[in-house]
Amino acid sequence: MAQTIASPVGMTEEEIRALPVAVPLVTAGRALLMGRTKAHELARYNKFPCQVLRIGGSYVVRKVDLLKVLGLMAETS
C-alpha cells in the first residue's frame, strides 16, 4: 500500500479552500510556497502578502485575504 507524505511546502487548491476562516500564519505561508521562517520574517516587517492579525498569542491570516492573493476568489456580479 502506497503512503502519501505531505509536502512541507505548498498546498492544493482543495486543501486551501478547506482551511478555517482564520488561517495560522505558517499554514498561510505554506499555501504561498514559503517556509515557517520566511513567513514569520515577512510578518515581522509587515511584508507578508496578506494582512496578519494577532489573536491572543497567535498570528493568523483571514482566509478570504489568502484566497484573494492566490487568485482563488470567485468573482461576484
pLDDT digits (tens, 9 = 90+) for 54-70: 998 899 999 999 999 99
Domain at 43, CATH number: 3.90.105
Q: What is the DSSP letter of 57?
A: T
CA distance 22 to 8: 20
pLDDT at 4: 46
Cell of 21: 476562516
Quick check: is 74 in a domain? Answer: no
What is the domain count for the chain?
Answer: 1
pLDDT of res. 57? 87
Domain that holds residue 43: 13-69
Residue 75 lies in a domain: no
Percent of the chain as helix, strand, coil, to the nearest 5? 35, 15, 50
In a domain, 63, yes or no: yes
pLDDT at 5: 46
Half-sphere exposure of 29 (CA within 13 A, CB side): 19
Confidence (pLDDT) at 66: 97
Share of residues in the chain with pLDDT > 90 (%): 77
DSSP state at residue 54: E
